[in-house]
Chains A and B, each alone.
Chain A
């Protein structure tokens, strides 16, 4: 334990930890302001696009029947996926008592919440009559009408709803002691805010006893969600009969993909954030090394899944399946197909090398590849399968328009905006838990005599 602590955080005292973390909440640097500005700008692009969609209809987007789902659903799945890494790291690794998570889990957990918040917008954005989206919710009404519980889309509503609630709770509860710690270090409006948020935390033994229990239970509650939520999302596709969607492998395939993409996003966020908020000695190579291993694992699972998809398509002898996968690799969308395979299946294999796992620049570049690759994975699965399914006469290719990209950009803006604000307002590193790993301060040698 102690040794591990040492290799994570060489020679840090509790005071230093608190100081460093509190420092992150100081006045924003220029870089931070720029990034926040950029995020807000992107978000506005999204807002404008959405207003246009409301006014003119989904026709503004590049939908080209039979491709009835395209960029929006792609981005939806992408964001849901991003969320998963957070819960995995904060909940599962917590239960497994893997100590290296502590430095990063807070950030990843925040990422989860904001990713789900982003994803949650898409079911509304992408439907034809956005103003009646609430018909998807089961509520008693004078028409005696209920939603169709057989529809995977409805399962989605519940999956996302649950996930958002649980991960938010988890994040908030986890924050309490830290906020309290910060509360005692700051002044002004922040003090008021934190005082309120820390729910009167004093750090008494009873509080700690209840706190740790609650945290444990929440972790236990969140854990199954990592598997269930993205399985449900994958069933949006797997439950249909469309060649390229209709696969039993989809649930594990998507969950692995989700975690893979999630960690990719963790890299993309943490590496700059670490610099920006000067957390170099709290979040160290050691953490990235471990995250890298996780990436390698999930990336390899994806590799296997891709291979399986093609094998099954060939082995099934099902002409529709075969055509779809042939066209995926050599059809009009070959470029997207290969982007996904290279970025996910191949690039992840670089992480076999410790040198790369510990080289932040390399990791950052790889993480970008992962993000792109995972977005394209969903794009390929959704669009290429739809563009050429059962009836050849109806085949057609998608041509996305500004409205597609506008919403995509907006979603990134929306996400980044929240994340940056969070990073400046709340401790992105779990103070308490890091402290737990640091040996109690001892008397110096030769204090006397």
Chain B
């Protein structure tokens, strides 16, 4: 009998342990955003991308240069983030707007920009590898969050891309508890039907 009691108690503890572990994991991911001081050396060959975190993109587009070095506002390219639910992926036109004239400093970047120009010449859209993918039963209206947190709030979820040569996932955006934490902090609605419908 005692054995059984012990067993039962043990299982309960185990369950609880697992649960909290999962929770902590989620918040842990969140904090590790700061810890992403991966190499920001200005010169990086496309070949090096394999060493960088995050998936390899068809073109080695460097947020650390565009957003970091040149301080281009996020919304210059992600044009609809402040007005629509979708952030908006820049059209080829937008890229070419600058890269008609800007051909790149070093050979590595020249090569990448050539890729872009060729694609644009052939009217072939570039299929970027998607990094942040919100499960489709959750709705995340970007514009309201920008409205509430300001135009530079992107980093809250996407991490500091100004320091990422190649963008990688900093937070698991499908981690509901993580959304809730933020909503709790700011005492905004925690009603399920705000996101799930």
Query: Do any CB atoms of chain A lie under 8 A from CB atoms of chain B in the complex?
Result: yes
Q: For the complex, what is the distance from the CA of A28 to the CA of B175, rounded to whole Å?
A: 56
- Indicate whether A143 sits within 8 Å of B15 (C-beta atoms), given known contacts A165-B8, A173-B1, A214-B1: no
Within 8 A of A (CB), among B156-170: none
A349 at the interface (CB under 8 A from B): no
Q: Is B176 in the interface zone, CB < 8 Å from A?
A: yes
Count contacts on B: residues with CB < 8 A to the other chain.
17
Q: Is A316 on the interface with B (CB-CB < 8 A)?
A: no
Question: Closest CB-CB distance, B92 to chain A, in whole Å?
Answer: 39
| Chain B positions 155 through 197: 1 when the CB is less than 8 Å from some CB of chain A, otherwise 0 | 0000000000000000000011110100000000000000000
Residues of B within 8 A of A142 (CB): 19, 22-23, 25-26, 175-178
A397 located at the interface, meaning its Cβ lies under 8 Å from any Cβ of chain B in the complex: no
Tell me, yes or no, whether A169 is within 8 Å of chain B by CB: yes
B177 in complex: contacting residue of A139, A144, A214, CB < 8 Å: A144
- B16 CB within 8 Å of chain A: yes
> Is B15 a contact of A139 with CB atoms below 8 Å?
yes
Q: Are B16 and A140 in contact (CB under 8 A)?
A: yes
Interface centre among B8, B16, B22 (most CB of A within 10 A): B22
A169, B7: Cα distance in complex, Å: 12
How far, in angstroms, from A144 to B175 measured CA to CA in the complex?
11
Chain B residues within an 8 Å CB radius of A139: 15-16, 18-19
Is A141 at the interface (CB under 8 A from chain B)? yes
CA A188 to CA B177, docked complex, whole Å: 56
Query: Who on chain B is nearest to A214 by CB?
Result: B1
* Across-interface contacts of A141 in B (CB, < 8 A): 19, 22-23, 177
CB proximity of A174 to chain B, nearest CB, Å? 12
Residue of A nearest to B190 (CB): A144
Q: How far is the CB of B70 from chain A (nearest CB, A)?
A: 38
B20 at the interface (CB under 8 A from A): yes
A-contact bits for B7-41, CB 8 A (1 contact / 0 none): 01000000110111011011000000000000000
Residues of B within 8 A of A218 (CB): 1
Contacts of A144 in B (CB 8 A): 177, 180
- Determine chain B's interface SS by DSSP, over half rule: helix
Q: Which residue of A lies closest to B7 (CB)?
A: A165
User: What residues on B are CB-neighbors of A140 within 8 Å?
Assistant: 15-16, 19-20, 23
The complex places the Cα of A165 from the Cα of B19 at a distance, in Å, of 23
CB of A296, distance to nearest CB on chain B (Å): 36
Across chains A and B, the number of contacting residue pairs, with CB separation under 8 Å, is 34
Residues of B within 8 A of A165 (CB): 4, 8
| B26 partner residues in chain A, CB cutoff 8 A | 142
Q: Count A-side interface residues using an 8 Å CB cutoff.
A: 11
Nearest residue, chain A, Cβ from B4: A169
Complex Cα–Cα for A169 and B177 (A): 38
A335 to B19, CA, bound (A): 50
**Which residue on chain B has the smallest CB distance to residue A137?**
B15
Give the residue name and chain of the B residue nearest to A169 (CB).
B4
Contacts A139-B15, A143-B177, A144-B180 given; indicate if A169 touches B20 (C-beta within 8 A): no
Q: Which of A194-229 contact B (CB under 8 A)?
A: 214, 218
A143 touching B19 by the CB < 8 A rule? Answer: no
Within 8 A of B (CB), among A133-187: 139-144, 165, 169, 173
Listed residue (A140, A142, A169) with the most chain B CB atoms within 10 angstroms of its CB: A142
**Shortest distance from the beta carbon of B30 to any chain A beta carbon, whole Å:** 11
**Cβ contact within 8 Å between A169 and B1:** yes
B178 CB to closest chain A CB (Å) equals 8
Q: How far is the CB of B131 from chain A (nearest CB, A)?
A: 21
Pair B180/A143 contact, Cβ less than 8 Å: yes
A165 and B7 CA atoms in complex are apart in Å by: 11
Segment 97-144 of B: residues with Cβ below 8 Å from A: none
Report the bound CA distance from A144 to B20 in whole Å: 10
Q: B20 — which chain A residues lie within 8 A by C-beta? A: 140
Which residues of chain A come closer than 8 Å to B176, judged between CB atoms?
142-143
B185, chain A: closest CB distance, angstroms:
13
- Bound Cα distance A218, B4 (Å): 13
Within the complex, the shortest CB–CB distance from A109 to chain B, in Å, comes to 16
User: Which residue on chain B has the smallest CB distance to residue A168?
Assistant: B4
- CB-CB under 8 A from B180, the residues of chain A are 143-144
Smallest beta-carbon distance B31→chain A, Å: 15
Least CB distance from B134 to A in Å reads 15
Q: Which residues of A contact B23 (CB under 8 A)?
A: 140-142
**Bitwise interface map of A from 65 to 77 toward B, beta carbon under 8 Å scored 1, else 0:** 0000000000000
Task: State the A residues within 8 Å of B (CB).
Answer: 139-144, 165, 169, 173, 214, 218
Instruction: List 6 A-B residue pairs with CB atoms under 8 Å apart, sorted by A's residue number.
Output: A139-B18, A142-B22, A142-B23, A142-B177, A143-B176, A214-B1
> Ordered nearest first, which 8 A-B pairs have the shortest CB separation?
A140-B19, A142-B177, A142-B23, A143-B176, A142-B26, A142-B22, A139-B15, A139-B19
